[in-house]
Amino acid sequence: MKVLVPVKRVVDYNVKVRVKSDQTGVELANIKMSMNPFDEIAVEEAIRLKEKGIATEVVVVSIGVQQCTETLRTALAMGADRGILVQTDVTTESLAVAKVLAKIAAEEAPGLIILGKQAIDDDANQTGQMLAGLLGWAQGTFASKVDPQGDTVNVTREIDGGLETVALKLPAIVTTDLRLNEPRYASLPNIMKAKSKPIANKTPADYGVDMTPRLTTLKVTEPAKRQAGIKVKSVDELVAKLKEMGAVA
């Protein structure tokens, strides 16, 4: 079984993002970029499936600017087998990404597509679901356990009430939650090897997808600054204050 893992290049999670002065977005120039952490979990899961002999090949795909090659190399250094770069300079919106991925899925015919449940830049949490819709495949989102059995996969999902396990017919879509696994650090020999693993260069046009953004961002602003609090001396005073503010009845 082939496993396809889409990986997104996002602002590194350690970076404190700043809003651009013209409020059109956040500052991205010359800022450390890394693989979306949920996607790292997806790559790790795919590699583990390969190590268990369940997956035969792990293909990673990134859609975005030329530098997404670095993100692909990171995945290759972790242990993925080959990469596909779909190069575009436009803002990547979930639906357009899902459409490109659907075309790639048709070409590559993977048994599983494992995506991060969301990307930490726009937190959309919908690409995997849209992709499942476009392909008409089953989906297991927010996975904390992925267990393929023959032509099905059991996916344990993290839901509000606890854990839910669903059995999906393959091919299927899985999106990863934080507790699925702890991604490995790329080893030095694998970083060296990743250099010579193939990356195919494509464009959205190759897949007949128009990625022109459909959303217009009106304005991006910083979250409101936290106001200074007040200190209370006792629980009674706290309750009184809360009542005063109308926070409790």
Interface contacts to another protein, rule CB under 8 A = 14, 29-30, 32, 70, 73-74, 77, 185-189, 191-192, 194-195, 225
Q: Which is nearer to another protein, 103 or 184 (CB)?
A: 184
Show the 3-state SS of 51-87.
HCCCCCEEEEEEEECCCHHHHHHHHHHHCCCEEEEEE
Cβ atoms of 204 and 88 closer than 8 Å: yes
What does DSSP assign to residue 26? B
- Min dist. Cβ of residue 233 to another protein (A): 21
Spatial distance between the Cα atoms of 105 and 128, rounded to a whole number of angstroms: 12
Q: Which is nearer to another protein, 30 or 216 (CB)?
A: 30
Cβ atoms of 111 and 4 closer than 8 Å: no
- Min dist. Cβ of residue 148 to another protein (A): 26
Q: Which is nearer to another protein, 38 or 207 (CB)?
A: 38
- Min dist. Cβ of residue 32 to another protein (A): 8
- Min dist. Cβ of residue 87 to another protein (A): 16
Q: Which is nearer to another protein, 14 or 234 (CB)?
A: 14
Cβ atoms of 27 and 17 closer than 8 Å: yes
- Min dist. Cβ of residue 185 to another protein (A): 5
Q: Which is nearer to another protein, 123 or 185 (CB)?
A: 185
Identity of the residue numbered 94 = S
